[in-house]
Amino acid sequence: MSKIKCVLFDMDGTLSDTLDDLTVALNVMLKFYNLPTRTRDEVRGMVGNGIDALILRGLPDTHKHLFDEGCGNIFRAYYKAHLTDYTRPYDGVNEVIDTLKAKGIKIGIVSNKLQSPLEDIVFSFWGNKIDAVVGITDALPSKPYPDMVYACLKKMDTSLSDAIYIGDSLVDLQTATNAGAKFIACSWGFATREALLNAGATEIIDHPSEVLKYLD
């Protein structure tokens, strides 16, 4: 494998802990319909495939029809206005971002968040330090399809062989596999270490600083 010139990160559960803001937004929607709310741990098991999947999974089986009736508009409106009420980068992430920039390593983010809120969160935490940000749009199929990975690399004029992909979920593992990317799982996110191992992850790190050991 050639020397690493680029690091691709997932967002939710990898760079930042978004779980509380997602849980609050989901529960605002559920309360609007007088439906039972969800716990943080329940929502943890629902994330990874984008907002639509979270909304559909969060609805009780008896009320899935609300998804087609536009209940997600309530979620999106609230979440857009409260993107970073509780969301923060994980400890050590900012230092890794700064170190990568100092070393001249390109940084990309590939996420199943919608493009606009993703860009807002990225800019609020890291300004212009991130070289490319690819979220969900109508132009590309979402993870675990590999297209977003390829699009992010293209924006940075970087080849797949020069990159590593860091993610916390089974969706990330499958995305990396589909893309043919070297995958490093992180244990501090939304999936458990056991789940990652059972799904086939071969390398797992326990702190963001461990990303740096893969650069040489």
**Domain end call among 81, 96, 128:** 81
Mean pLDDT score, 173-195: 96
The first and second tokens of residue 106, run together, are 């390109």
Number of domains present in the structure of the chain? 2
Q: Is the pTM of this model over 0.85?
A: yes
pLDDT at residue 1 is higher than 80: no
**Which of 81, 116, 135 marks a domain boundary?**
81
Q: Are 208 and 161 contained in the same domain? A: yes
Query: pLDDT for 129-156, tens place per residue?
Result: 999 999 999 999 999 999 999 999 999 9
Which residues form the domain of 55? 19-81
Tens of pLDDT along 185-208? 999 999 999 999 999 999 999 999
Residue 1 lies in a domain: no
Q: How far is CA 3 from CA 23, 124, 158, 166, 203, in A?
A: 39, 30, 12, 16, 18
- What would the pLDDT profile of 83-96 be if each residue is shown by its tens digit? 999 999 999 999 99
User: Residues 35, 99: one domain?
Assistant: no
**125 and 169 both lie in a single domain:** yes
Share the mean pLDDT of the chain.
95
- Quote the pLDDT of residue 2: 64
CA distance 9 to 110: 6
160 in Cβ contact with 183 (< 8 Å): no
3-state helix, strand, coil in the chain (%, to 5): 45, 15, 35
What single-letter DSSP state applies at residue 38? -
For residues 61 and 57, what is the distance between their CA atoms, to the nearest angstrom? 9
